[in-house]
């Protein structure tokens, strides 16, 4: 889609044009679902967050000034909606002493081809990230995937930079353990 077409859709959405809002929703739903899935434990919860995020997008659409990437602007809203959802579900999820237990899910291996192995490893990686505690998962996603600095993460989550760094280190440690165990099983 060209920038002029997107701009026209956005301008119509800002005027509460329902057809344009539906079109914008359809254009960005998949990408924004992917963003929210990184912060939630299941698809149903991610869909709820995407819905809440789009409500915020439509409410704030008149504030978008067309100076930066619309997708980036929307992504930031979805990340914030995801963090808000985590805060609602967990009163204090961002502690430095948090211990989190994760379950080992066994997966049947049907095909030994490189393509199948690569697909399984990607699924394991996503599954591993989703098995982290909300605090670790959020900091990991914000730092590694969204490219926020620890200072920005601390401001967003209302924690210290040290807590952000600690949660990231623990998230990486847990991910290594989970993935190492999964990949050892695949190699057998």
Q: Is the domain of 82 the same as that of 120? A: no
Phi, psi of 163 (to 5 degrees): -65, -40
Contacts of 102 (CB under 8 A, 6+ apart): 131, 132, 174, 178
CA distance 70 to 85: 23
% of residues, the chain, pLDDT over 70: 78
CA distance 10 to 24: 8
pTM over 0.85: no
Per-residue pLDDT band at 187 (split at 50, 70, 90) = low
Tally the domains of the chain.
2
| Boundary residue ending a domain (50, 73, 89) | 89
Domain ranges, residue 47 = 3-89
Per-residue pLDDT band at 117 (split at 50, 70, 90) = low
Give the CATH number, domain containing residue 149. 1.10.10.10
- Asked whether residue 109 is domain-assigned, the answer is no
Q: What is the pLDDT of residues 18-61, one digit of tens each?
A: 999 999 999 999 999 999 988 887 889 899 999 999 999 999 99
């Amino acid at each position: 889609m060209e920038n002029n077409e997107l701009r026209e859709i956005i301008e119509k959405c800002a005027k509460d044009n329902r057809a344009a809002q539906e079109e914008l929703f359809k254009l960005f739903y998949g990408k924004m679902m992917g963003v929210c899935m990184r912060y939630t434990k299941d698809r149903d919860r991610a869909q709820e967050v995407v819905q809440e995020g789009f409500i915020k997008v439509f409410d704030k659409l008149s504030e978008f000034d067309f100076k930066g990437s619309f997708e980036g602007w929307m992504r930031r809203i979805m990340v914030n909606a995801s963090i808000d959802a985590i805060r609602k579900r967990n009163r204090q999820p961002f502690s430095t002493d948090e211990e989190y237990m994760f379950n080992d899910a066994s997966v049947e291996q049907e095909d030994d081809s490189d393509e199948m192995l690569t697909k399984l490893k990607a699924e394991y990686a996503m599954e591993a990230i989703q098995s982290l505690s909300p605090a670790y998962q959020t900091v990991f996603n914000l730092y590694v995937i969204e490219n926020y600095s620890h200072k920005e993460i601390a401001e967003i989550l209302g924690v210290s930079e040290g807590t952000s760094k600690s949660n990231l280190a623990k998230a990486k440690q847990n991910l290594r353990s989970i993935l190492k165990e999964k990949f050892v099983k695949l190699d057998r």
